[in-house]
Chain A
């Protein structure tokens, strides 16, 4: 059974659809990428699962099942407790995720203490253990540091440690390496992969970077305009993508091993075709709603 399942999830801002019948599954221990260009809705899916959607966005249909239980049918308190215990987030920008005016240690222990009811001393011991695991030298000293005293890579390591602290079964990583240098990015990707494998955690990796997907993930969901275009294995996608848009996206991605001349922007015809697909989907959806 899959650990996480979205069934025909729909979300809107006012009348505007943001997610269109999104269905996807993440099995225990699976590493799945959620891929799309800006505005595709990839971050929104992560936020819908965590229950942190902005107020303006309403879920208008569909189910979010965690171990078969519908999160939306739960009371907010039960939902928070379930998410807090089983799901964690690695955010894109550790500087905005950490409070600049407080020391790092207490901040990352708080979730364990406040939501999961650990004792503070237990939480601190666990976090120090994890900081060792993410290769942070002198964790006790780092716990007392303020976020600005640490490098970008170091801050991201701390948030990774904090995400794994409560042994969640699913981690949602929202573009966790976008702000980092490539050399640091490789270290962080390796760290996420090692931690994921060691702890058997499922990973939903939100990104626009196909390079990162090809190196880290097993399966992937390609989004455009809030709609799933392709749900496939990474091997399949990079050898023979199914959807024309996927193929165009791949062709538009520069590779340093390719000398100039081969870069093709996504053709307008392809974009129009996808937009027509989405319009047809919206129309069918409306007709169905009216019929009901």
Chain B
């Protein structure tokens, strides 16, 4: 077992720029990740922040291998998974899970909650599926009666809990959460954040938390990585980063956040 759960080395990823594709010949490439290097130790809660287009979601999706990378290494528990094919990757998928921003589009609307949570368990050949589903539901604080509900019968916060239950059901070591509270009202947001915090400590999870909201990251994460235009501009412990941001871009981001308190002249 390697001490670092993830070791990312010179990670590069580009997309084809189809808007500028010539009639004949290949489309030009847009570099989205421009050589990233960082480690995630076991048990860390790492916030990945940046503006839109910074590459934070692309980075997350590359780490869990939903996207293919151009070059570089993604070492998960010591093994480079960056070029692995899907079949070799499958057993690892149990250990790496993801929670998406919009549970309404990531949960199949025609399946009941129990089926949704059972799906990854069945795929990975778990036994005692029903018991595990119940356990996952209790872990996220949903009543067992919710087993038979459909996603549309739940509130936004409850749907996001189902997404979390589905992710923790296979007892993963790493969960990537991509903007999971940005669609929620502040009251459900607070509940979901408290839940994630509890799960991390109860289950010994390592969590990658992608967000544009630095106040939320401050609340939840131990370390924070700031991305801007596909490069890491700053990585530090959350406390150090917020107390003494080093990069100008981080300072600009912090200055632009409207805190819920009256500050005369803030807009001037």
A residues near B (Cβ < 8 Å) are 37-38, 152, 181-183, 185-186, 189-190, 193, 208-216, 234-235, 238-239, 248-250, 252-260, 263-266, 271
* B218 with A186: CB separation less than 8 A: no
* A183 with B256: CB separation less than 8 A: yes
Residues of A within 8 Å of B259, CB to CB, are: 211, 214, 255-257
Q: Does B92 contact A (CB under 8 A)?
A: no
* A38 with B185: CB separation less than 8 A: yes
The distance in angstroms between the C-alpha atoms of A189 and B257, with both chains bound, is 12
Residues of A within 8 Å of B266, CB to CB, are: 215
Tell me the residues in window 197-229 of chain B with beta carbons closer than 8 Å to chain A beta carbons: 197, 212-220
The distance in angstroms between the C-alpha atoms of A209 and B259, with both chains bound, is 10
Residues of A within 8 Å of B212, CB to CB, are: 181-182
Closest Cβ of chain B: how far from A3's Cβ, in Å?
23
Majority secondary structure, B binding face: helix
Residues of B within 8 Å of A259, CB to CB, are: 218, 239
Chain B 39-72 interface 0/1 with A at a Cβ cutoff of 8 Å (1 = within): 0000000000001100000000000000000000
Partner among A185, A234, A249 whose Cβ is within 8 Å of the Cβ of B186: A249
Partner among A210, A252, A257 whose Cβ is within 8 Å of the Cβ of B189: A252
Residues of B within 8 Å of A234, CB to CB, are: 262
* B190 with A183: CB separation less than 8 A: no
Q: Does B32 contact A (CB under 8 A)?
A: no
Residues of A within 8 Å of B216, CB to CB, are: 254
Residue of A nearest to B19 (CB): A148
Partner among B220, B253, B260 whose Cβ is within 8 Å of the Cβ of A211: B260
Residues of A within 8 Å of B258, CB to CB, are: 182, 185-186, 189, 209, 211-212, 214-215
Closest Cβ of chain B: how far from A189's Cβ, in Å?
6
Residues of B within 8 Å of A255, CB to CB, are: 215, 218, 259-261
Residue of B nearest to A270 (CB): B187
The distance in angstroms between the C-alpha atoms of A255 and B261, with both chains bound, is 10
Residue of A nearest to B192 (CB): A265
* B260 with A181: CB separation less than 8 A: no
Closest Cβ of chain A: how far from B220's Cβ, in Å?
7
Closest Cβ of chain B: how far from A139's Cβ, in Å?
24
Residue of B nearest to A38 (CB): B185
Q: Does B193 contact A (CB under 8 A)?
A: yes
* A256 with B214: CB separation less than 8 A: yes
Closest Cβ of chain B: how far from A93's Cβ, in Å?
14
The distance in angstroms between the C-alpha atoms of A160 and B197, with both chains bound, is 40
